[in-house]
């Protein structure tokens, strides 16, 4: 018994020393250590499958995760220390991550979001005890960006405890002086946004798009159905990452919120997100529910179907806002050809595409109560995988689509969007201390925030 108690104290002590000083966002003098949060017992089902791999919450105490609110309001070091036991997160120093990315080299630059730039790196099996050799993606905090310490902490708390096949894996983090970094598994195919809108070859087939939609829906359904539900709040194509097999994984939990529990119907927050994806009732009231995510999923599903951005200022005024322009068409099978991405060249199952369009139509309802739950969305979309036909569909569909393609090419030329021969833009080298905030050509997403007094 004494040995067990001593081991527990060591676990708590290690967790507090490695992470506890970061909870307040202060620039403490302690440097992050090179250890990792010690894992707790990992449960298996009757078939011997690992619960974490099948998709469950990392168990800290009696199988129940600590919410973001729990961690921020924890009354003792003990409560804080157990919050990520079982997560297997590794703690890195800035020096280690600088070495892993070759000094945040220009050629390793992957992209940039509201939190800061992201670089590719690699670690060998000697870097950390228990860490296998692998490619990683390192996200640096940009002090001039739209997100900060709270979003960094949110990412660690949520992804540190969740494991699901459709959520990106958080390998570890760095909290050293004023530096805040996040370390993820490397997703070889990049974001869905790049494949849909940056015209990186090859064009995503209908079967691949549908698989991505189903995978992303499963990720959201897992969050919503958790014992302590989570609202993702920033669901969009740039936050859907793809592995080498094009499996979809949700990333960037900086804006995620604990969902309402008990008799509560919603969570009141500042209105934050990306223009074109947020549910109308959330924008108007700041009331956040799981149905807000469902609306955002509907926007992304429409983007997957049409190959068009949620907001595209290069198009005529009446076509700039995708949902306003196309939602009414989604329930009309006669207008399917006007919706579908011309890049598909008519190669899709007509019945499958129409049923997917009806799901998008329901998700985009102006009334939250009329939208389906994400578990119902999965139930409706998954059977469509058996209807996949990537062969040519009716000729009439590609006639209208070719005209849309011509208009799109013209608009892109007028907008001056440049694409390099290998589909990658060159960027100036960045350092952890100072980041170039200039966006690359064609970057149309606008991150916005409406402040509401007293909301967090």
| Bridge-based pairing state of the strands 248-250 and 240-242 | antiparallel
369, burial (CB in 10 Å: exposed 0-12, middle 13-18, buried 19+): exposed
Q: What is the DSSP string of 84-142?
A: TTTS--EE--HHHHHHHTTTT-GGGEEEE-SS-EEEEEEE-TTSSTTPPSEEEEEEEP-
User: Active site residue: 51, 124, 125, 234, which one?
Assistant: 234
Q: Are 424 and 106 in contact (CB under 8 A)?
A: no
Listed in sequence order, the residues at least 6 apart from 381 whose beta carbon sits closer than 8 Å to its beta carbon are 210, 213, 214, 217, 356, 359
| CA–CA distances in Å: residue 82 to residues 40, 183, 448 | 9, 21, 35
Nearest to 156, CA basis, from 79, 218, 72, 274: 72
| CA–CA distances in Å: residue 135 to residues 41, 138, 244 | 27, 10, 12
Listed in sequence order, the residues at least 6 apart from 64 whose beta carbon sits closer than 8 Å to its beta carbon are 57, 227, 228
- Residue 76: CA atoms inside 13 Å, Cβ hemisphere, count? 5
| Bridge-based pairing state of the strands 162-163 and 170-176 | unpaired
Q: What is the DSSP string of 19-37?
A: HGGGTT----SPPP-S-BP
* Distance, C-alpha 379 to centroid of its chain: 21
In the annotation, is 70 catalytic? no
Any idea which residues carry the catalytic annotation?
234
């Amino acid at each position: 018994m004494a040995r067990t108690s001593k081991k527990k104290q060591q676990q708590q002590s290690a967790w507090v020393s490695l992470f506890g000083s970061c909870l307040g966002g202060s620039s403490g003098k302690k440097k992050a250590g090179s250890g990792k949060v010690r894992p707790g017992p990992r449960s298996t089902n009757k078939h011997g499958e690992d619960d974490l791999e099948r998709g469950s919450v990392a168990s800290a105490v009696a199988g129940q995760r600590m919410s973001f609110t729990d961690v921020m309001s924890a009354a003792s070091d003990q409560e804080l220390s157990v919050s990520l036991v079982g997560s297997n997160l590794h703690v890195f120093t800035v020096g280690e991550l600088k070495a892993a990315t070759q000094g945040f080299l220009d050629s390793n630059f992957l992209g940039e979001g509201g939190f800061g730039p992201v670089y590719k790196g690699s670690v060998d099996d000697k870097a950390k005890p228990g860490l296998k050799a692998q490619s990683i993606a390192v996200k640096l905090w940009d002090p001039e960006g739209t997100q900060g310490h709270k979003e960094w902490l949110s990412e660690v708390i949520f992804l540190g405890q969740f494991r699901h096949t459709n959520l990106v894996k958080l390998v570890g983090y760095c909290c050293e002086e004023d530096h805040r970094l996040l370390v993820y598994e490397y997703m070889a195919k990049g974001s869905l946004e790049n494949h849909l809108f940056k015209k990186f070859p090859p064009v995503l087939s209908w079967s691949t798009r549908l698989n991505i939609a189903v995978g992303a829906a499963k990720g959201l359904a897992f969050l919503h159905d958790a014992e302590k539900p989570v609202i993702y709040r920033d669901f969009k194509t740039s936050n859907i990452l793809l592995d080498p097999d094009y499996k979809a994984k949700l990333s960037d939990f900086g804006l995620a919120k604990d969902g309402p529990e008990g008799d509560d119907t919603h969570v009141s927050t500042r209105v934050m997100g990306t223009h074109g994806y947020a549910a109308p009732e959330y924008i108007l009231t700041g009331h956040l529910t799981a149905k807000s995510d469902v609306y955002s999923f509907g926007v992304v599903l429409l983007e997957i179907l049409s190959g068009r951005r949620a907001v595209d200022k290069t198009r005529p005024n009446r076509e700039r806002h995708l949902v306003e322009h196309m939602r009414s068409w989604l329930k009309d099978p006669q207008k399917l050809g006007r919706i579908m991405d011309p890049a598909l060249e008519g190669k899709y199952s007509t019945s499958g595409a129409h049923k997917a369009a009806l799901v998008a139509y329901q998700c985009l309802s102006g009334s939250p109560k009329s939208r389906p739950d994400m578990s119902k969305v999965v139930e409706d979309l998954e059977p469509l995988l058996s209807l996949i036909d990537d062969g040519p569909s009716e000729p009439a569909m590609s006639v209208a689509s070719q005209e849309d393609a011509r208009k799109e090419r013209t608009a892109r030329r007028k907008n001056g969007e440049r694409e390099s021969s290998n589909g990658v833009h060159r960027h100036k080298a960045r350092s952890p201390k100072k980041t170039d905030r200039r966006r690359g050509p064609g970057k149309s997403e606008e991150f916005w925030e409406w402040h509401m007094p007293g909301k967090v």
